[in-house]
Structure 1
Amino acid sequence: MHTTRFCLIRHGETDWNRERRLQGHLDIPLNTQGMAQAERLATALQRQQLQFAALHVSELTRARQTAAAISRQLALPLHTHAALKERHYGAFQGRTFDEAREQIPHVYRLHQERDLHFDLQGGESLLAFQQRIMHCMQQLATHHAGQQILVVSHGGVLEMVYRTASGKGLSGARDFPIPNAALNWVNYQDGSWHIEKWADQAHLDDSLDEV
């Protein structure tokens, strides 16, 4: 069976990342630090002289801006996907966790309890989010069987892939890093996902973890 190898990348830093404010589907651009991270990331990939068959990207601006630097340096066109967008955080979007705890305590409580079916009042449940992401990843793995590809997306998206590949499930709190603009390597073979290397930040000076 052919192996598909993925280099997964969370977008560069935004001002809302710095504020620890949940973005979800809200279309927040990279800040100056994020743009610099994207350039360092693209340079690191170019220096490694890795061959990629395709560059697949979330349609949100922060991911597209990160991928644009890679596209230029590696001469790869961007293929954007709505299915690679961040989780829709419903009532949490635009708020920090502290603000959510104070302003919408009932929503905050269910979120903290990790109710897998709770949609955050108009957003996506954890189960629905995982299904969306892994369906898209499965399609990419099948389409690019035997190839190596880049995927630029979001912290929540990478979390779903990590949890699926590691068998951690969705119930427990996250205990692994998801830094802005780091390199994360996973592969898919014969119906199974495997983590090769995670959170490689050797090319970065400073990178924030996912909220």
Structure 2
Amino acid sequence: MATDLNVELVAVRHGITAWNLERRYQGQRDIPLLFPDAEEGLLALRVALAEERFDAIYASDLGRCQETLAWSQAAKPGVPVYAEPRLRELDFGEYEGKVYDELKELPHYRAWIDSVGELQIPGGESSGQLRERLDAWLDDVAAHSQAHGYQKVLVVTHGGVIRELRRRFETLDFWEGIVHQAQGRRWQLAYQAGSDGKGGWQCNYSSAVPAQESATS
């Protein structure tokens, strides 16, 4: 397992899909980006990342994230790209493809909302199960970073994944961790290995991607 490491992790959400606009739970359905609606956000993301050089890229294997990565033009020659199923969105099970008005009268849906995602969705996952796969992936990032010298890593993923990473690194509650499509977060992380061989990531700094402009008088 990795010893002490410092890694800059940049996580961005995929661009807009038709189901985003329709406010449908899309979860692990392989819904493509919607054009021309997605183009403005994707071009802004490309500009935001244009001067950055990443040592490695991890992207959800779902098409909307792979498309977003291609549009970002961040995958330079020689940079390893990992198609990572553990970075998929929460599995919404029976809720996928549905909107709030179709679900709001269902007792199990109301209970799931009241639990802030901690209950397991029928046929799907709980937030705890999502965190478990993200924890396993983060352990691999630590191991890869030690083995290959990664210092700056790009992640192309989903809104629910970034929400959970923000809860972990920024200690936000569930409702505060939302990021919009083709936007994300940047974290300066330190990994420290424990005496028992287990370690963990600590966040020293976080900011928005693209960077937010400072207010002017």
Coarse TM-score class (shorter-chain normalised): 0.7 to 0.9
Q: 1:4 aligns with which of 4, 7, 22?
A: 7
Superposed CA offset, 1:159-197 (max 9, x none): 1111111234xxx54124311111411133122331633
Query: How far apart are residue 15 of structure 1 and its match?
Result: 1.1
The alignment's TM-score, normalised by the length of structure 1, stands at 0.83
Residues 164 and 193, structure 1, Cα contact 8 Å, conserved in 2: no
Which entry has the higher C-alpha Rg, 1 or 2?
2
Residues 35 and 66, structure 1, Cα contact 8 Å, conserved in 2: no
Q: 1:44 aligns with which of 45, 48, 72?
A: 48
C-alpha separation in 2, matches of 1:197 and 1:180: 18
How many residues are treated as equivalent by the alignment? 196
2:22 matched to 1:13? no
Partner of 2:103: 100
Query: How far apart are residue 44 of structure 1 and its match?
Result: 2.2
With over 3 angstroms needed to count, the CA separation of the structure-2 counterparts of 1:183 and 1:160, relative to structure 1, is: closer
> Could you list the runs of 5+ residues in structure 1 that have no partner in the other structure?
204-211
Partner of 2:171: 167
2:94 matched to 1:85? no
- Between the aligned residues of both structures, percent identity stands at 28
SS in 2 for 1:193: strand
> Could you list the runs of 5+ residues in structure 2 that have no partner in the other structure?
193-199, 213-217
Superposed CA offset, 1:147-170 (max 9, x none): 1010000000001111111234xx
Superposed CA offset, 1:93-150 (max 9, x none): 1111221114xx1221121121665321110111111111122123113312451010
Counterpart of 1:200, as a letter, is V
Query: How far apart are residue 58 of structure 1 and its match?
Result: 0.1
Partner of 2:121: 120
2:62 matched to 1:60? yes
SS in 2 for 1:122: coil
C-alpha separation in 2, matches of 1:92 and 1:195: 36
Counterpart of 1:21, as a letter, is R
C-alpha separation in 2, matches of 1:112 and 1:153: 23
C-alpha separation in 2, matches of 1:72 and 1:174: 30
SS in 2 for 1:66: helix
Partner of 2:152: 148
C-alpha separation in 1, matches of 2:202 and 2:181: 22
C-alpha separation in 2, matches of 1:94 and 1:116: 17
Residues 162 and 195, structure 1, Cα contact 8 Å, conserved in 2: no
C-alpha separation in 2, matches of 1:186 and 1:90: 30
Counterpart of 2:22, as a letter, is E
Superposed CA offset, 1:46-87 (max 9, x none): 1xx222101110011111100012346744453201111001
> 155-164 or 186-195: which moved more?
186-195
Counterpart of 1:156, as a letter, is G
C-alpha separation in 2, matches of 1:67 and 1:45: 11
Counterpart of 1:19, as a letter, is E
C-alpha separation in 1, matches of 2:138 and 2:164: 10
Residues 6 and 187, structure 1, Cα contact 8 Å, conserved in 2: yes
